[in-house]
Amino acid sequence: MNRLAQDRAEQQREDVIEQELLRRLREEIKQRGDFAGVHLAPASSADVSDEREARLVVLGPFTPHAPPSKQARSEAREVARTILETRGSAPRRYKNTLAFLAPDAQRLEELVQATRQYLAWKSIEDEAETLNLDAFQKRQAETRRKAADDTVKGQSKIHNSTSKIGASGATTGRRG
């Protein structure tokens, strides 16, 4: 059964992984704190309001931020810069009201692999009857799915696997 889980993990499509991570982020951002709004994985700068109230922009799972260096390119910084400069085709007026969070490029692969494992074990657990699993195998699938779920939860917490990008595009802090 471990081999089946490994095969299924390797076959997980990136869009399915992204949807799973977005689902988890939606749950986590329900508590928006002092922010007037939270924008999850905006498709364009037009999706982020230009208002006086503070807003949090959580960039998508595959828009990672890498600390400044000569070789590292931060896709998150580029997206944040675009959002800060414009709202759609118009210039943005309230740039200082936006805060950005993005996945940490150094930890993203770990999160993706953990999500692959979770989705693989979940599919096995969901198909227990079709796969003709006995009681021991069903318990094993459930145990492994729960363990993988806990791993993803731990790695996908906003404060654990994100970098904060300030209005200037500079890194203002990293996970603890």
Alpha-carbon gap, residue 31 to 80, rounded angstroms: 22
- CA–CA distance, 115 with 12 (Å, rounded to integer): 9
Percent of the chain with pLDDT over 90: 64
158-160-165-166 Cα dihedral, nearest 10 degrees: 80
pLDDT (tens digit per residue) in 111-127: 999 999 999 999 999 99
HSE of 10 in the Cβ direction (CA atoms, 13 Å)?
A: 6
| pLDDT per position as a tens digit, 3-20 | 999 999 999 999 999 999
Contact 120, 152 (CB under 8 A): no
Mean pLDDT over the full length of the chain: 86
User: If you count DSSP H runs as helices and E runs as strands, how many of each does the chain have, helices first?
Assistant: 5, 7
Query: Over 50: is that where the pLDDT of 159 sits?
Result: no
- pTM exceeding the 0.75 threshold for the entire prediction: yes
